[in-house]
């Protein structure tokens, strides 16, 4: 770091810099040691490989009790009466909470994005399997489960609907008359630019198509759960929660208010998350009931969901969609209009055509989302909210290419741009903001095409039958790379005494993307210390709250905060190294590096040294000195100090605590806030059996322009892992409800299939590094991208194989056969 890049210690300046995330990184490092290096050992590797890693579900405490919820057997029903007299008598039952318990409020803030107001134990169920009516706490999970069966409930069944299009028909019964008394449509969201009618008029050709998205879900291997223990007035809480800080904020509003300082959050390893459960509006309902039961019993209470109960929450992208596209004969797209009817979508504001607006030059775009409630579980962003948008981009581009007989890659390159502007305009913006001007999509497709053998293998739809009798297909899809959400991050960082190792503090959920190692790499290079000596203590409540693993936004927020903290701490270290360390009544202590300025020094591999004379050096450990104040200290630095009548020599430590902090704030980065420059492109080769409808994925090539790779294992893991999850979502995964009873039919892993090691063919992951991200060092997120973009790719790949479009996703064999007119 040169002197003109010195971090500002002025608070006002620091705050302004924390908000400035809309330009290229003005001060990247001149030299990288572990940033971008392959083979950096992951910090959680040994724990997770050996089974030592602890999850909330593993928490065992003396006297621990277990809580389970009563759930509704009907898709829409009200509790008229509840008899729990037998339940209380069952041996091992310690507490029964009922919906009419005077201590339970009608509403409390129980999770979701912001503070909300929902009932911990509602009396009405709006889907089969919804937690309502009672919470039973017992000595074991199985006793609690058995006790639930002794509850006698008188239900008033109500009419129910499962189909979104039936729910918007005139005269349809209301699916949730309490919250939505007027209509089953709870929100209509409009987005777009230009005038689509003008665009269709200017087009040479117009095509219309429908597509549907079957409900899928996240399947976190660790079931939703949590533990509450009252330590007197203090609450100790274990959360299986992607958003520990938001959870704590909600908890602080309970029971008339608990000071934040009285709540200790423990956020252990998370058995996967994918957004999902952590965003549900009721996800702290278990904690609320556990807190009440814990107070009553004087014992810690763990609440748990069954595996089936986890299945009721889903991906918020399910629905039915109608698209109209107008385009010129050369492939230039003039207008896109799409109407979507979505299923129990909590936040329709993410839209359905956002990616067409964000990264194409299409001048006329219009999207209309009709968000409808039916009697199924709630659906939330699940790796992630961009799923519909990705489907839209890829189906639009591939339909246009198919209608014109063009290569879809060419159609993509022709229409690349941003917010209705072409690449020339976009390139001018890149330059203005300080980025190197590169053509990210072209770089991605060139690498991807070579890897899959596109130019040799691509053919007209339905044109290639293989010797094994199957049809061969190639598919291509693309969109931008994102790190989209708003978020803030606070990070503490310190050199430990005695050995100068580095601790990063900030409570955050580890969902497995190897972010913790990544932050250690940033701190190591910024401070000049070996990465092995850096640890991110993320599981405990140290008062610093980081951005969650959310919308691929980890690094673009927390990365800046770690870097800022590390730069300030390094500056503090160097300023202290040249300053007199102490004056006592007897003597004063010279600086560790006398007659030098901070900028004359640097740190590398844990050693402070004079740049002009590297032999003049001292390890950070020696400089900072040991801990402890009783008895002789052993610092080798400084002259011995003679104190006391006995004249015992106490070598003097003389350095202040080496601690500082950093923070960063990212405003919402959705449409219009900042332009997207980095692209991703994916390719898929399939074989389709026209007799069985089976689709065999032979090869997938993922290409992601992540700006700059900091941690290779993290980036590649998200790419191939995302590809496998994406294949599952696009091809096989769907939560099925019985239309007659409204009961979920496949809420288990035997009947809801996710990909296994035999289901994905070959996967090749390619990273492109254009440096055009807004994150530190030019990075951009990758966590959600591939798993979200890739599912839509199975559609075009199957179309290329068969020459017909499969309307419904997932493209299960029955839907493929239907497209072929065989079912």
Partner 1 sequence: MATVQERGIVREQTVQLLVNGESHSVRVQPQWTLQYVLSDKLGLTGTKEFCGEGACGACTVIMDGRPVLSCMMLAIECGGKSIETVEGIARSNHPLIEAYIKYSCMQCGFCTPGFVVTAKALLDRNPDPTVEEIREAMVGNLCRCGTYPAHIKAIQEAAAVLRGGGGRE
Q: Which residue has the tokens 């070959």?
A: 762
Interaction between residue 62 and partner 1 (CB under 8 A): no
CB of 725 to partner 1, least distance (A): 5
Q: Which of residues 495-554 bind partner 1 (CB under 8 A)?
A: 510-514
Query: Which residue from 53, 168, 206, 207 is in contact with partner 1, where contact means CB under 8 A?
Result: 53
Nearer of residues 108 and 515 to partner 1, judged by Cβ: 515
x/- site string to partner 1, residues 75 to 114, per CB under 8 A? Answer: ---------------xxx----------------------
Distance separating alpha carbons of residues 799 and 816, to the nearest angstrom: 10
Q: Note whether 761 binds partner 1 by CB under 8 A.
A: no
Exactly one of 754, 804, 807, 818 binds partner 1 (CB under 8 A); that residue is 754
Give the Cα separation of 472 and 148 in Å (integer).
53
| Beta sheet of 124-125, edge-to-edge order | 124-125, 77-83, 152-157
Q: Is 51 in the site for partner 1 (CB under 8 A)?
A: yes
36 forms part of the interface with partner 1 (CB under 8 A): no
Q: Contact between 279 and partner 1 (CB under 8 A)?
A: no
Instruction: Quickly tell me which residue has 């956020």 as its tokens.
Output: 267
Q: Select from 19, 22, 46, 89 the one that contacts partner 1 (CB under 8 A).
A: 46
Dihedrals φ, ψ of 548, to 5°?
A: -75, 165
Among 32, 55, 589, 659, binds partner 1 (CB under 8 A): 55
Element (H, E) at 660: strand 659-666
Number of H helices, E strands in the chain: 23, 33
- Out of 69, 99, 269, 623, the only residue in the binding site for partner 1 (CB under 8 A) is 269
CB of 717 to partner 1, least distance (A): 6
Contacting residue, 58, 422, 446, 575, with partner 1 by CB under 8 A? 58
Q: Which residue has the tokens 């039919």?
A: 745
- Considering the complex, what minimum distance in angstroms separates the CB of residue 53 from partner 1? 5
Distance (Å, rounded) from C-alpha 196 to C-alpha 200? 6
Please enumerate in sequence order all residues whose Cβ is within 8 A of that of 606, keeping only pairs 6 or more positions apart, or say none. 500, 528, 529, 530, 533, 619, 620, 621
Q: Which of 3, 11, 630, 756 binds partner 1 (CB under 8 A)?
A: 756
Rounded CA-CA distance 658/663 in Å is 17
Q: Is 307 in the site for partner 1 (CB under 8 A)?
A: yes
Q: Are 350 and 669 in contact (CB under 8 A)?
A: no
Whose CA is closest to 222, among 292, 298, 274?
A: 274
Roughly how many angstroms between the first and final C-alpha of the chain, as a whole number? 66
Name which of 326 and 728 has its Cβ closer to partner 1.
728
| Nearer to partner 1 (CB atom), residue 45 or residue 640 | 45
Instruction: Pick between residue 42 and residue 538 the one whose CB is nearest to partner 1.
Output: 42
- C-alpha to C-alpha distances, 615 to 51, 54, 723, nearest whole angstrom: 45, 45, 51
Smallest separation (angstroms) from partner 1 to the CB of 720:
5
DSSP state, residue 556: I
List the x/- string, 705-744, binding to partner 1 by CB under 8 A. Answer: --------x---x--xxxxxx-------------------
Here the tokens at position 791 are 């599912």
CB of 718 or CB of 800, closer to partner 1: 718
- Which segment (143-151, 404-412, 597-605, 814-822) binds partner 1 by CB under 8 A? 143-151
Which DSSP letter does residue 7 get? P
CB of 536 to partner 1, least distance (A): 15
Give the phi and the psi of residue 86 in degrees, each rounded to 5.
-70, -35
Binding of partner 1 by 127 (CB under 8 A)? no
Looking at 121-129, 281-289, 496-504, 756-764, which segment touches partner 1 (CB under 8 A)? 756-764
SS3 label, residue 169: coil
Q: Does 444 bind partner 1 (CB under 8 A)?
A: no
| SS3 annotation, 396-410 | HHHHHHHHHCCCHHH
Q: How far is CA 320 from CA 409, 735, 807, 808, 819, in A?
A: 27, 16, 10, 9, 17
Task: Considering the complex, state which of residue 122 and residue 271 has its C-beta at the smaller distance from partner 1.
Answer: 271
- Which one of residues 252, 273, 389, 800 is an interface residue with partner 1 (CB under 8 A)? 273
Nearest-approach distance from CB 317 to partner 1, in angstroms: 18
Q: Is 758 in the site for partner 1 (CB under 8 A)?
A: yes
What is the nearest approach in angstroms of partner 1 to the Cβ of residue 39? Answer: 8
**Closest separation between CB of residue 287 and partner 1, Å?**
21
Which of residues 39, 102, 182, 644 is near partner 1 by CB under 8 A? 39
Q: Using the Cα atoms of residue 119, residue 124, residue 129 and residue 132 in order, give the sign of their dihedral.
A: positive
222 lies in the binding site for partner 1 (CB under 8 A): yes
42 contributes a contact to partner 1 by CB under 8 A: yes
Smallest distance, Å, CB 149 to partner 1?
A: 9
Closer to partner 1 by Cβ: residue 225 or 817: 225
Distance in Å, CB of 220 to partner 1, minimum? 7
Output the CA angle 372-376-377, nearest 5 degrees. 100
Q: From the CB of 279, what's the least distance to partner 1, in Å?
A: 17
| Helices 408-415 and 387-404, axial angle in degrees (round to 10) | 120
Distance CA 403, CA 399 (A): 6
Least distance from C-beta 46 to partner 1, angstroms? 6
Angstrom distance (rounded) from CA 423 to CA 360: 9
Contact between 374 and partner 1 per CB under 8 A: no
CB 345 within 8 A of CB 378: no
Residue number, 302 or 581, with CB nearest to partner 1: 302
Report phi then psi at 27, rounded to 5.
-135, 65
Least distance from C-beta 306 to partner 1, angstroms?
A: 8
* 696 in contact with partner 1 (CB under 8 A): no
C-beta of 225: minimal distance to partner 1 in Å?
A: 11
Q: Is 749 a residue that touches partner 1 (CB under 8 A)?
A: yes
Q: Tell me: does residue 271 bind partner 1 (CB under 8 A).
A: yes
Q: Is residue 402 within 8 Å of residue 210, measured between CB atoms?
A: no
Segment interacting with partner 1, rule: CB under 8 A, options 95-103, 218-226, 534-542, 665-673: 218-226
Nearest Cα to Cα of residue 184 among 159, 218, 151, 205: 159
Distance separating alpha carbons of residues 202 and 526, to the nearest angstrom: 54
**Binding to partner 1 (CB under 8 A): which residues in 165-184?**
none
Token representation of residue 727 = 């294949």
Q: How does 203-234 read in b/e, with b if 16+ C-beta sit within 10 Å?
A: beeebeeebebbbbbbbbebbbbbbbbbeeee
How many residues touch partner 1 under the rule CB under 8 A: the total is 62
Residues that bind partner 1 (CB under 8 A): 39, 41-42, 44-55, 57-58, 60, 90-92, 142-143, 145-147, 218-222, 269-274, 307, 510-514, 713, 717, 720-725, 748-750, 754-758, 760, 763, 787
């Amino acid at each position: 770091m040169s002197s003109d890049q010195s971090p500002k210690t002025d608070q006002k300046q620091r705050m302004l810099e924390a908000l400035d995330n809309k330009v290229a990184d003005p001060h990247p490092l001149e030299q990288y040691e572990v940033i971008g290096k392959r083979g950096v050992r992951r910090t959680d590797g040994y724990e997770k490989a050996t089974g030592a890693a602890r999850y909330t579900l593993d928490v065992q405490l003396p006297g621990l009790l277990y809580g389970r919820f009563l759930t509704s057997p009907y898709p829409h029903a009200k509790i008229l009466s509840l008899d729990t007299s037998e339940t209380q008598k069952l041996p091992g039952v310690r507490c029964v909470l009922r919906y009419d318990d005077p201590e339970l409020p009608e509403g409390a803030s129980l999770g979701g994005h912001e503070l909300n107001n929902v009932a911990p134990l509602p009396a009405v169920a709006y889907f089969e399997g919804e937690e309502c009516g009672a919470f039973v706490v017992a000595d074991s999970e199985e006793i609690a489960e058995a006790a639930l069966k002794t509850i006698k409930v008188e239900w008033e069944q109500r009419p129910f609907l499962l189909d979104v299009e039936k729910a918007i028909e005139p005269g349809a019964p209301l699916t949730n008359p309490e919250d939505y008394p007027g209509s089953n449509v709870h929100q209509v969201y409009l987005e777009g630019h230009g005038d689509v009618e003008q665009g269709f008029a200017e087009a040479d050709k117009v095509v219309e198509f429908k597509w549907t998205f079957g409900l899928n879900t996240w399947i976190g291997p660790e079931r939703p759960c949590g533990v509450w223990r009252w330590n007197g007035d203090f609450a100790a809480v274990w959360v299986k929660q992607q958003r520990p800080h938001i959870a704590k904020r909600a908890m602080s509003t309970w029971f008339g208010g608990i000071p934040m300082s009285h709540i200790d959050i423990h956020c252990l390893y998370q058995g996967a998350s994918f957004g999902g459960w952590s965003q549900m509006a009721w996800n702290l309902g278990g904690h609320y009931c556990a807190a009440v039961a814990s107070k009553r019993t004087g014992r810690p209470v763990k609440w748990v969901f069954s595996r089936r109960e986890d299945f009721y929450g889903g991906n918020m992208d399910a629905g039915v969609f109608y698209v109209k596209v107008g385009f010129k004969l050369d492939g230039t797209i003039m207008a896109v209009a799409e109407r979507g009817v979505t299923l129990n979508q909590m936040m329709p504001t993410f839209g359905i055509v956002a990616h067409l607006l964000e990264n194409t030059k299409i001048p006329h775009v219009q999207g209309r989302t009709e968000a409808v409630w039916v009697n199924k579980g709630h659906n939330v962003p699940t790796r992630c909210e961009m799923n519909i948008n990705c489907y839209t981009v890829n189906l639009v581009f591939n339909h246009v290419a198919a209608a014109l007989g063009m290569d879809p890659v060419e159609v993509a390159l022709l229409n690349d741009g941003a917010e209705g502007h072409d690449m020339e305009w976009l390139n001018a913006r890149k330059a203005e903001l300080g980025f190197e001007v590169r053509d990210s999509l072209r770089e991605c497709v060139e690498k991807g095409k070579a890897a899959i053998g596109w130019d040799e293998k691509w053919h007209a739809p339905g044109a290639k039958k293989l010797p094994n009798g199957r049809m061969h297909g190639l598919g291509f899809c693309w969109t931008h790379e994102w790190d989209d959400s708003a978020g803030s991050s606070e990070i503490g960082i310190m050199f430990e005494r005695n050995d100068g190792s580095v601790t990063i503090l900030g409570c955050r959920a580890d969902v497995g993307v190897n972010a913790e190692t990544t932050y250690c790499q940033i701190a190591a290079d910024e401070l000049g210390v070996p990465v092995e000596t850096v640890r991110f203590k993320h599981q405990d409540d140290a008062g610093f709250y980081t951005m969650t693993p959310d919308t691929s936004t980890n690094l673009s927020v927390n990365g800046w905060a770690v870097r800022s903290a590390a730069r300030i701490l390094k500056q503090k270290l160097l300023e202290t190294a040249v300053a007199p360390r102490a004056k006592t009544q007897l003597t004063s202590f010279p600086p560790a590096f006398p007659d030098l300025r901070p900028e004359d020094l640097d740190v590398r591999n844990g050693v402070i040294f004079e740049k002009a004379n590297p032999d003049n050096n001292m390890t950070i450990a020696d400089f900072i000195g040991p801990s402890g104040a009783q008895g002789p200290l052993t610092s080798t630095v400084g002259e011995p100090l003679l104190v006391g009548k006995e004249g015992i020599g106490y070598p003097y430590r003389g350095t202040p605590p080496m601690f500082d902090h950093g923070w960063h704030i990212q405003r919402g980065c959705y449409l219009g806030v900042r332009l997207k420059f980095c692209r991703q492109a994916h390719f898929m080769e399939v074989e389709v059996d026209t007799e069985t409808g089976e689709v065999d994925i032979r090869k997938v090539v993922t290409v992601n322009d992540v700006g700059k790779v900091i941690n290779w294992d993290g980036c590649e893991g998200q790419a191939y892992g995302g590809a496998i999850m994406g294949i599952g979502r696009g091809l096989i995964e769907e939560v099925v409800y019985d239309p007659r009873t409204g009961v979920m039919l496949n809420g288990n892993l035997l009947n809801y299939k996710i990909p296994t090691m035999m289901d994905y063919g070959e996967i090749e992951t390619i990273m492109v590094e254009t440096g055009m991200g807004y994150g530190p060092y030019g990075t951009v997120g990758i966590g959600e991208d591939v798993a979200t973009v890739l599912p839509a790719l199975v559609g075009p790949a199957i179309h290329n194989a068969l020459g017909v479009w499969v309307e419904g996703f997932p493209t299960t064999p029955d839907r493929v056969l239907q497209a072929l007119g065989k079912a």
